[in-house]
């Protein structure tokens, strides 16, 4: 297969508000422009990814002007939302005058919940273009996010922490919420997990349903202890878990966590640990020794753990067990933040003068969803091309493997889907490209992992000879000798009549 | 993986179970272990101490405790199943515990023991796996990025021949003996009547007993285990395919499971007054009728099924040709006139 060239096309609109048009524009508004860049992940191996931003510069319409006249950036964003292009993958950037009061002081870019941003015009055209470039990188994809997607082709040391956290693209994920109660004699813990899932988790998963299928389970485990004994700290009269003992906490617990026997999707575990009465309150310490305010930690590609401290009862004579009602909102805030991080959606690498609107109950902004989709699409295309290449190599090596019809049709379908995914990407249709790439991955995985392709089942020719010759050669010796005798006799008989005459 | 059957191969099962025990002790959960035992020693009728498998003489250590989860047992341990587990080409009905669900960040430890020879390992006394097949299977795993790094340990006679043919990157291999040498067993126990462990695995286990989950011991120490004076055979190892320096590779990278952890510093701010999707949830429940079990199973069809008629095929060309040849030769040699006596 030739190396796959992938071109990521982002359709963008840059809208200039009144008084924000910079001098020195190359052409009068409205006009189109293209910017192409190569994203080099790994020079030697495919796919080679280039990005193309198709920008349409125009000035605001009357409705947009009215929306931009709002008091705060958030209201402006909400008012602008119905006027925008909302297809997946597109961006709209509104440029407001440098001195506009729409954005707070010191903030030059405001990124909204949907697919738009408000940018200050900046002193000059060059400054504006630099800012535009930064905004588009934050909102769509950067070289490092594409590198994260292709992380199994890049040596581990070169990845940013964001990239190392990245969950592999999969058709579905299983999310398991577990409540660990090591001390049921002291605490009877009640958590309204069903309500919390419906209220807080479902909106996020519905938004992410475009990316993959999610299934949610929950369980309560009793007498499950952490593998590490926390230290008692006299100053704060609390127990502390230091940062370097955290990696050893997960394994003893994992042995007790079940997972659904039927599904093969990766599992994300979110554990809520209520410490024993003798170890309360329990705080997690970070590397500098300060207690972490979320009291939680997470492990890439696995999930997260949060420690929920129960208030010590006021009077020591209170009867055990103490009833505890878990504040699900606080818990879900942490778990959903961890879920975002596990998917690679952190906001750490954003420049300081950017103000990012919080995503609210939906869990992630539209442009973050796009971010995920770009990364997953590129990853899917890369996976399909390696899978099909290695399948072709396998078939070359073992010439007499029998390819069943359905395996062949899956391979054809995978090739067709990946071609259409690349085409759709070059046209800027992110949604169609993502769906095509998902189909391509499903087909190629089904073809590659088909049970009939086991190379053990197909003998090379030399093994066939090696087995049958020792069996048939001794048997064939008398037959061949007899044949030779027959041939000799026939020849003699042919000669004799002539001799007799 | 233990590949040997029969009571006198007790030591292979004990080897495997001891390594299993160490690996569990160092933190790897059962969901991440695929244990293949070719025979059941604990419940073998010849076991004088049923439900136990000892690895030290005088019955010091019972490695078949109450927490052993065997994934492939007895006749399921075949070369085909082993290769299927490695390459992932498993029929879709296989449960999760029988699969190797690894990805490109997983470090895999493979321990095999049994009877082997120059270039092969014997499975169940009836089939063999060659070093070429094993190398190909690892290459298939690498193509699909089913491992990050792989440690292959083999304790059989002439074990070093099994890792000669590897060609995929990031594989480190250890064997108990070189080509032409036999791997010897360690201690016979007079109470049980068989040898309990193999020497190489015994000393590896002594080494592993001193490792705890936070230990910083590296691979070079593992290579020094069981010198010739104790083991009689010369253990070998291969690190040329491995990208990191073995000095820097921790034992717990493969034998234990230490995860990378990050502190969560952000929270999402949620609006707590959201009503939620409860109503949607309830409606879905009311729609379906409860199905009775009997209606789902087409009992009538099953009872009255006739046996499927196998289609009759005429004999194939090769057999026909062979028979024709034999008959022709017979009659030519003994003369056609005898035919009239036959008919």
pLDDT digits (tens, 9 = 90+) for B240-251: 888 888 888 888
Helix, coil or strand: residue A120: strand
Q: What pLDDT was estimated at residue A315?
A: 67
Q: Has residue A474 been placed in a domain?
A: yes
pLDDT tens-digit readout, A81-90: 777 777 777 7
Q: Are B235 and B176 in contact (CB under 8 A)?
A: yes
Q: What pLDDT was estimated at residue B281?
A: 38
Inter-chain residue contact B266 with A296, CB threshold 8 Å = no
The yes-or-no verdict on residue A486 having pLDDT over 50 is: yes
Per domain, the residue ranges of chain B are 7-248
Percent of residues, chain A, with pLDDT higher than 70: 87
How far, CA to CA in Å, does A62 sit from each of A17, B43, B138?
10, 85, 64
- Scanning A289-348 for CB atoms below 8 A from B yields 292-294, 296-302, 304, 306, 329, 332-334, 336-338, 340-341, 346-347
Inter-chain residue contact A264 with B96, CB threshold 8 Å = yes
Residues in B closer than 8 angstroms to A262, CB to CB, are 96
Mean pLDDT for the stretch of residues A313-331: 78
The yes-or-no verdict on residue A425 having pLDDT over 90 is: no
Give the torsion sign (CA, A398, A402, A405, A406): negative
Inter-chain residue contact B268 with A359, CB threshold 8 Å = yes
pLDDT tens-digit readout, A200-231: 888 888 888 888 888 898 889 888 887 778 88
Q: What pLDDT was estimated at residue B277?
A: 44
Q: Which two tokens stand for residue B258?
A: 């230490």
Compute the mean pLDDT over every residue in chain A, rounded to the nearest whole number.
80
Residue A88 CB contacts under 8 Å (≥ 6 apart), including other chains? A210, A369, A370, A373, A430, A431, A434
Q: What pLDDT was estimated at residue A237?
A: 79
The yes-or-no verdict on residue B40 having pLDDT over 70 is: yes
For residues A225 and A298, membership in a common domain is answered with yes
For residues A230 and A318, membership in a common domain is answered with yes
pLDDT tens-digit readout, B280-303: 333 344 444 555 555 555 565 666
Chain B CB within 8 Å of residue A359 CB: yes
Strand ranges for A236-363 from DSSP E: 238-241, 267-273, 282-284, 296-299, 303-307, 322-325, 354-356
pLDDT tens-digit readout, A366-376: 888 888 888 88
For residues A429 and A468, membership in a common domain is answered with no
Q: What pLDDT was estimated at residue A203?
A: 85
Rounded (10°) CA dihedral A430, A434, A435, A436: 100
For residues A414 and A319, membership in a common domain is answered with no
How would you classify the pairing of strands A303-307 and A267-273? parallel
Inter-chain residue contact B89 with A453, CB threshold 8 Å = yes
Q: How far is B99 from chain A (nearest CA, A)?
A: 9
Q: Are B127 and B83 in contact (CB under 8 A)?
A: no
Q: Which two tokens stand for residue B224?
A: 């020094």
Residue B7 gets which letter from DSSP?
Answer: G
**Total-model pTM:** 0.79
For residues A422 and A320, membership in a common domain is answered with no
Chain B CB within 8 Å of residue A172 CB: no
Domain end point (choices A343, A361, A383): A343
Residues in B closer than 8 angstroms to A342, CB to CB, are none
Q: What pLDDT was estimated at residue B2?
A: 87
In this prediction, residue A53 has a pLDDT band, given cuts at 50, 70 and 90, of confident
Q: How far apart (Å, rounded) are the C-alpha atoms in residues B285 and B313?
A: 54
Q: Are B146 and B88 in contact (CB under 8 A)?
A: yes
CATH of the domain at A435: 1.20.1270
In this prediction, residue A163 has a pLDDT band, given cuts at 50, 70 and 90, of low
Inter-chain residue contact A251 with B259, CB threshold 8 Å = yes
Q: Has residue A362 been placed in a domain?
A: no
Q: Which residue has the higher pLDDT, A499 or A231?
A: A231
The answer to whether residue B115 is catalytic is yes
Q: What pLDDT was estimated at residue A137?
A: 78
Closest CA to A13 of A125, A98, A116: A116
* CATH numeric code, B7-248: 3.40.50.1460
How would you classify the pairing of strands B149-155 and A303-307? unpaired
Q: What pLDDT was estimated at residue A29?
A: 73
Q: Which residue of B has its CA nearest to A483?
A: B329
Q: What pLDDT was estimated at residue A264?
A: 78
pLDDT tens-digit readout, B320-332: 888 888 888 887 7
Mean pLDDT for the stretch of residues B178-203: 82
For residues A471 and A408, membership in a common domain is answered with no
Q: Has residue A352 been placed in a domain?
A: no
- Scanning A391-410 for CB atoms below 8 A from B yields 393-394, 397
The yes-or-no verdict on residue A303 having pLDDT over 90 is: no
Inter-chain residue contact A198 with B278, CB threshold 8 Å = yes
For residues A427 and A489, membership in a common domain is answered with no
DSSP structure string for B65-77: -S----SEEGGG-
Give the mutation candidate from B84, B132, B261 for the A interface (greatest A CB count, under 10 A): B261
CB atoms within 10 A of CB B225: 18
Chain B CB within 8 Å of residue A485 CB: yes
CA B151 to chain centre: 14
Mean pLDDT for the stretch of residues B197-201: 86
Residues in B closer than 8 angstroms to A363, CB to CB, are 268
Inter-chain residue contact B274 with A152, CB threshold 8 Å = no
For residues A421 and A464, membership in a common domain is answered with no
Q: What pLDDT was estimated at residue A35?
A: 77
Q: Has residue A270 been placed in a domain?
A: yes
Q: Has residue A176 been placed in a domain?
A: yes
| Marked catalytic residue, from B157, B195, B226, B231 | B157
Q: How far is A296 from chain B (nearest CA, A)?
A: 6
DSSP structure string for B77-146: --HHHHHHHHH----TT--GGGS----TT-EEEEEEES-EETTEEEETTTEEEEHHHHHHHHHHHHHTT-
Inter-chain residue contact A387 with B144, CB threshold 8 Å = yes
Mean pLDDT for the stretch of residues B129-142: 87
pLDDT tens-digit readout, A72-81: 777 777 777 7
CA A441 to chain centre: 14
Out of A163-172, A459-468, B66-75, B302-311, least confident range: B302-311
Of A259, A300, A390, the CB nearest to B31: A259
Q: What pLDDT was estimated at residue B57?
A: 65
Q: How far apart (Å, rounded) are the C-alpha atoms in residues A67 and A62?
A: 9
The answer to whether residue B43 is catalytic is no
Residue B50 gets which letter from DSSP?
Answer: T
Q: Which two tokens stand for residue B185?
A: 């067993």
Q: Which of A315-319, B217-221, B300-304 shows the highest mean pLDDT?
A: B217-221
Q: Which two tokens stand for residue B323?
A: 């028979």
Mean pLDDT for the stretch of residues B37-66: 82
Q: What pLDDT was estimated at residue A416?
A: 92
CATH of the domain at A209: 3.40.390
For residues A324 and A423, membership in a common domain is answered with no
Q: Which residue of B has its CA nearest to A336?
A: B268
ipTM for the whole complex: 0.78
CB pairs under 8 A between A and B: 174
Q: Which two tokens stand for residue A39?
A: 């994203």
Inter-chain residue contact A261 with B278, CB threshold 8 Å = no
Q: Are A305 and A342 in contact (CB under 8 A)?
A: no
For residues A339 and A221, membership in a common domain is answered with yes
Inter-chain residue contact A333 with B259, CB threshold 8 Å = no
Of A156, A251, A294, the CB nearest to B265: A294
Q: Give the structural domain span for A389.
A: 372-457
The yes-or-no verdict on residue A499 having pLDDT over 80 is: no
Q: Has residue A209 been placed in a domain?
A: yes
For residues A304 and A179, membership in a common domain is answered with yes
Inter-chain residue contact A254 with B258, CB threshold 8 Å = no
Q: Has residue A49 been placed in a domain?
A: no
A94: enclosing H helix or E strand: strand A91-96
Rounded (10°) CA dihedral A431, A434, A440, A444: -160
Q: How far apart (Å, rounded) are the C-alpha atoms in residues A174 and A302?
A: 11
Of A203, A246, A259, the CB nearest to B261: A246
Out of A36-45, A246-255, A315-324, B129-138, least confident range: A36-45
Residue A118 CB contacts under 8 Å (≥ 6 apart), including other chains? A73, A76, A77, A93, A94, A96, A102, A103, A109, A110, A112
Q: How far apart (Å, rounded) are the C-alpha atoms in residues A492 and A488?
A: 6
Count structural domains, chain A: 3
Q: Which residue of A has its CA nearest to B143?
A: A390
Of A255, A262, A453, the CB nearest to B29: A255
Q: What pLDDT was estimated at residue A399?
A: 66
Of A195, A261, A456, the CB nearest to B96: A261
Mean pLDDT for the stretch of residues A292-300: 85
Q: How far apart (Å, rounded) are the C-alpha atoms in residues A153 and A43?
A: 11
Residue A200 gets which letter from DSSP?
Answer: I
For residues A331 and A239, membership in a common domain is answered with yes
In this prediction, residue B310 has a pLDDT band, given cuts at 50, 70 and 90, of low
Residues in A closer than 8 angstroms to B333, CB to CB, are 482, 485-486
The yes-or-no verdict on residue B49 having pLDDT over 90 is: no
Residue B284 CB contacts under 8 Å (≥ 6 apart), including other chains? none
Of A254, A340, A453, the CB nearest to B268: A340
């Amino acid at each position: 297969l030739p190396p796959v060239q992938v071109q990521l096309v982002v359709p963008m609109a840059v809208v200039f508000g009144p008084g924000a048009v910079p001098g020195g524009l190359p052409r009068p508004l409205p006009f189109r422009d293209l910017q192409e860049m190569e994203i080099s992940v790994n020079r030697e191996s495919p796919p080679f990814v280039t990005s193309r931003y198709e920008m349409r510069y125009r000035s605001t319409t009357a409705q947009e002007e009215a929306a931009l006249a709002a008091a705060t950036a958030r209201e402006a964003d909400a008012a602008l939302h119905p006027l925008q292009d909302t297809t997946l993958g597109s961006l709209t950037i509104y440029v407001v005058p440098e001195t506009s009061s729409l954005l707070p002081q010191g903030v030059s870019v405001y990124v909204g919940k949907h697919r738009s941003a408000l940018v200050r015009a900046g002193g000059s055209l060059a400054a504006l273009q630099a800012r535009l470039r930064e905004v588009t990188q934050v909102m769509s994809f950067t070289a490092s996010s594409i590198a994260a997607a292709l992380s199994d082709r890049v040596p581990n040391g070169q990845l940013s922490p964001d990239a190392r956290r990245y969950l592999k693209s999969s058709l579905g994920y299983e999310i398991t919420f577990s409540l660990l109660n090591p001390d049921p004699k002291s605490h009877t813990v009640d958590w309204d997990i069903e309500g919390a899932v419906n209220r807080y988790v479902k909106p996020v998963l519905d938004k992410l349903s475009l990316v993959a299928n999610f299934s949610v389970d929950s369980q309560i485990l009793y007498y499950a202890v952490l593998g590490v004994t926390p230290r008692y700290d006299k100053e704060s009269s609390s127990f502390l878990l230091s940062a370097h003992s955290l990696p050893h906490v997960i394994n003893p617990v994992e042995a007790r966590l079940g997972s659904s026997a039927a599904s093969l999707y990766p599992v994300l575990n979110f554990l809520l640990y209520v410490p024993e009465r003798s170890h309360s309150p329990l705080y997690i310490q970070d590397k500098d020794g300060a207690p972490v305010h979320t009291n939680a930690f997470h492990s890439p590609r696995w999930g997260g753990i949060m420690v929920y401290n129960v208030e010590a009862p006021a009077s020591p004579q209170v009867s055990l067990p103490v009833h505890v009602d878990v504040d699900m909102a606080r818990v879900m805030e942490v778990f959903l933040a961890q879920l975002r991080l596990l998917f690679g959606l952190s906001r750490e690498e954003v420049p300081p003068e950017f103000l990012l609107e919080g995503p609210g109950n939906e869990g992630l902004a539209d442009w973050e969803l796009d971010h995920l989709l770009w990364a997953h699409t590129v990853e899917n295309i890369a996976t399909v091309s390696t899978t099909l290449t290695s399948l072709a190599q396998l078939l070359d090596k073992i010439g007499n493997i029998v390819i069943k019809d359905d395996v062949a049709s899956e391979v054809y379908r995978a090739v067709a889907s990946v071609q259409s995914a690349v085409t759709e990407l070059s046209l800027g249709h992110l949604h169609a490209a993502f769906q095509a790439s998902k189909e391509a991955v499903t087909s190629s995985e089904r073809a590659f992992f088909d049970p009939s392709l086991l190379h053990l089942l197909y003998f090379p020719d030399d093994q066939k000879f090696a087995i049958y010759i020792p069996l048939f050669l001794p048997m064939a010796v008398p037959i061949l000798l007899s044949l030779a005798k027959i041939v000799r006799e026939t020849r003699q008989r042919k000669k004799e009549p002539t001799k007799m005459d | 993986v233990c590949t040997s059957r029969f009571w006198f191969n007790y030591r292979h099962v004990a080897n495997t179970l001891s390594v299993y025990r160490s690996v569990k002790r160092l933190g790897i959960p059962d969901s991440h272990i695929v244990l293949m035992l070719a025979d059941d020693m604990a419940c073998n009728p010849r076991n004088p101490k049923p439900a136990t498998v000892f690895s030290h003489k005088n019955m010091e250590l019972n490695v078949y405790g109450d927490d052993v989860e065997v994934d492939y047992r007895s006749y399921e341990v075949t070369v085909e199943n082993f290769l299927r587990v490695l390459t992932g080409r498993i029929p879709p009905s296989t449960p999760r515990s029988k699969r190797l669900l690894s990805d490109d960040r997983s470090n895999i430890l493979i321990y095999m023991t049994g009877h082997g020879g120059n270039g092969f390992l014997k499975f169940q006394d009836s089939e063999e796996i060659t070093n070429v097949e094993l190398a190909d299977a690892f290459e298939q795993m690498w193509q699909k990025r089913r491992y990050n790094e792989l440690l292959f340990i083999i304790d059989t006679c002439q074990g070093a021949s099994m890792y000669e043919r590897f060609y995929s990157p990031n594989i480190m291999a250890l064997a108990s003996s070189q080509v032409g040498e036999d791997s010897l067993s360690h201690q016979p126990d007079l109470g049980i009547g068989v040898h309990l462990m193999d020497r190489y695995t015994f000393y590896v286990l002594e080494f592993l007993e001193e490792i705890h989950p936070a230990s910083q011991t590296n691979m070079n120490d593992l290579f020094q285990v069981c010198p010739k004076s104790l083991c009689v055979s010369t253990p070998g190892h291969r690190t040329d395919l491995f990208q990191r320096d073995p000095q820097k590779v921790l034992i717990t990278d493969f034998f234990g499971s230490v995860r990378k952890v990050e502190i969560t510093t952000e929270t999402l701010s949620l609006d707590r007054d959201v009503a939620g999707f409860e109503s949607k949830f309830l409606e879905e429940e009311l729609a379906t009728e409860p199905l009775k079990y009997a209606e789902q199973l087409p009992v009538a069809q099953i009872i009255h099924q006739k046996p499927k008629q196998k289609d009759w095929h005429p004999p194939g060309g090769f057999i026909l040709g062979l028979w024709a040849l034999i008959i022709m030769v017979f009659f030519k040699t003994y003369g056609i006139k005898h035919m009239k006596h036959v008919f």
